[in-house]
Amino acid sequence: MKSAIVVFPGTNRERDMAIALKRVTGKAPTMLWHRDTDLPDVDLVVLPGGFSYGDYLRCGAMAAHSPIMAEIRAFAQKGGHILGVCNGFQILTETGMLPGALLRNANLRFLSQDCHLRVERNDTPFTHKWAKGAVFRTPLAHGDGNYTADSQTLEKLEGEGLVAFRYANAKGDVQADDAETNPNGSINSIAGILSENTRICGMMPHPEDLVDPLMGGEDGLPLFEGLVEAFVR
Residues involved in catalysis: 86, 206, 208
Rounded CA gap, 62 and 196, in Å?
A: 25
The 8 Å CB, 24+ separation contacts for 150-159 are 153/99, 153/100, 154/187, 154/188, 156/99, 157/99, 157/100, 157/190, 157/193, 158/188
Whether 49 and 88 have beta carbons less than 8 Å apart is answered as yes
Q: What is the DSSP letter of 65?
A: G
Give me the torsion for CA of 206, 82, 21, 217, rounded to 10°. Answer: 30
Rounded CA gap, 87 and 99, in Å?
A: 15
φ, ψ of residue 44 to 5 degrees: the values are: -135, 135
Whether 153 and 78 have beta carbons less than 8 Å apart is answered as no
Whether 203 and 15 have beta carbons less than 8 Å apart is answered as no
